[in-house]
Structure 1
């Protein structure tokens, strides 16, 4: 699948991979910092942004999409930076294009299987809006608030609502959400891997450390205190400092 992407700058390439319901702009606050000394590649994963839609959405398929893009752009010595679902795609790429990857950074996700989580509520509202052809932004916001979805998440979701149309594929994400939560254990990957954990986030727990180090023996885990799941939004400067320290920039 030919993914939509934004390419900027020169130097060692960094590929940025967003989370579910996101788009290539979600990691823009990181990419715009690194574009001074790197070639940055911001990607819309399948069923998101301006990339094609598909009924299939497991990590092997998503990783193969990104691998195809990397081959098309002739990228080498890659640095991968992925948040949440995009972090799992980055980890899966270690099995797909191992010779092209030099370093991987994963923001607030672990190589484990998750339960359906709070996104179930979001999917229920989105599916309801889709089925009932609700395209009024205020009505959508009211429905989300009634379900207890906070305003920060609502504003994040609405970034992908353009011209009365959702840029992400609600039906496919809903039907494939079990695959998005899932993870198939991989053989140990020995290259450097940084995991950045939000101190207030439930996504990387102490119990997940075993799975991390079994699959990524040379991993390092950094905790950003006071941050939730969207660490790069909440604590941008701290995340950038961790990235620069890790990458030696």
Structure 2
């Protein structure tokens, strides 16, 4: 399997070299104006190769489409909704159902389970870089024959959407990000991320012994996760096995725990990037499509200090704040979120 993958990568690299040499020849003939085309060819080749060496997870998904709108839905790019850490495609079921009925520009709306989440337990993976997860979504688009799609991502899913937009901008028709910045968070400097880390640690320490109930697990988590609503959200990842009445996590908690530092960061082409990198490097990739950032006013995941980095990657961005909403803006302010999404998609 690896030899075939390596051969494919080598063939792609050879094709890229031929294209670049041909463009350089045109540059000599036509003058300096053709040189910018060389840069674009090289960038597109490197972007495409990011997914060449890895086998994508076949993501589980759900579709939402207003009744009687199947033909009209194909006139506009579909929408792919990506959940956050510990979430699943079901988190957006009500929102996407309502959105599909209210859009003037009818679209197919799809929610997916990202790797190691939801119904993807058929193919758990140890790696959770944003490059790998973006390649999963790109592979999903290929299987669905989506040439382009509008990406909507919350938290971790927002970083996946951003990574894909920067890797393959020609495949992304629009970008909506719910309450996350393209930066590295640390438990030391970011209280919100410290809380996330504590939750993951607490989940990993729960012992799912025979005879244990969801109420027992809720009790185990009560000290680390004091908010009842947040505990209820965590427990949506717990399922009961009917054959022996046991419990199991639907998330790959061991991989998530091991990859928590990777999830805290933001990588493109497997290279982690920081705000300092953004300030020093004017060659960072950019997504120049319309980018809409929806920020929860009570959340600390998007701050003033992040705005320069956001602008470096996404020069055509607009940010709006839903006052009083926390990090889970779509759950805490569903009506406001729906209205904003509708305005963006019908623009």
TM-score range, shorter chain: over 0.9
How many equivalent residue pairs? 249
> Is the contact between residue 141 and residue 154 of structure 1 (CA under 8 Å) also seen in structure 2?
yes
From the superposition, tell whether residues 134 and 61 of structure 1 become closer, same or farther in structure 2 (CA, over 3 Å). farther
Structure 1 gaps, min length 5: none
Partner of 1:191: 289
Q: Cα distance, 1:148 vs. partner?
A: 4.2
How many Å apart are 1:141 and its aligned residue? 0.9
Shift of residue 233 of structure 1?
0.6
Of 83, 87, 97, the residue aligned with 1:32 is 97
Does the 8 Å contact 2:79/2:108 carry over to 1? yes
Counterparts of 2:88 and 2:201 in 1: how far apart (Å)? 20
The separation in 1 between residues aligned to 2:286 and 2:216, in whole angstroms, is: 48
In structure 2, distance between residues paired with 1:105 and 1:57: 21
Q: Does 1:7 align with 2:63?
A: yes
The question of 1:49 aligning with 2:118 is answered yes
Question: How far is 1:230 from its partner?
Answer: 0.4
Q: Given the alignment, which residue of 7, 19, 33 partners 2:84?
A: 19
Q: Deviation per CA, 1:138-187, whole angstroms, max 9, x where unpaired?
A: 22111211224311111111111111111111000000011101013451
Tell me the residue number matched to 2:326.
228
Q: TM-score, normalised by structure 1?
A: 0.95
- Paired with 2:135 and 2:285, the residues of 1 have a C-alpha distance of 18
How far the C-alpha of 1:244 sits from its partner, in A, is 1.5
Distance 1:154 1:232, change over 3 A: same
**1:193-208 equivalence runs, <5 A:** 193-208=291-306
Q: CA deviation at 1:27?
A: 1.6
Pair 130,90 (structure 1): closer, same or farther in 2 beyond 3 Å: farther
Shift of 1:134: 8.5
Q: Find the aligned partners of 1:94 and 1:133 in 2 and give their Cα distance.
A: 45
How much is the aligned-residue C-alpha RMSD, in angstroms?
A: 1.7
Given the alignment of the two structures, is residue 243 of structure 1 paired with residue 341 of structure 2, yes or no?
yes
Q: State which drifts further: 202-211 or 183-192.
A: 183-192
CA drift at 1:131? 7.7
**1: distance between equivalents of 2:138 and 2:144?**
10
Match of 1:61 in 2: 132
Specify every segment of 5 or more residues in structure 2 that has no aligned partner in the other structure, as ranges: 1-56, 188-192, 241-246, 268-272, 274-283
Whole-Å separation in 2 of the counterparts to 1:166 and 1:62: 20
Contact 1:135 1:165 in 2 (8 A): no
Structure-2 residue corresponding to 1:179: 262
**Residues 1:136 and 2:192 are matched in the alignment:** no
Larger helix proportion, structure 1 or 2?
2
- Match among 107, 118, 129 for residue 178 of structure 2: 107
TM-score (norm 2): 0.69
CA distances 1:83-117 after superposition (whole Å, capped 9, x unpaired): 00000000011133322211000000001111142
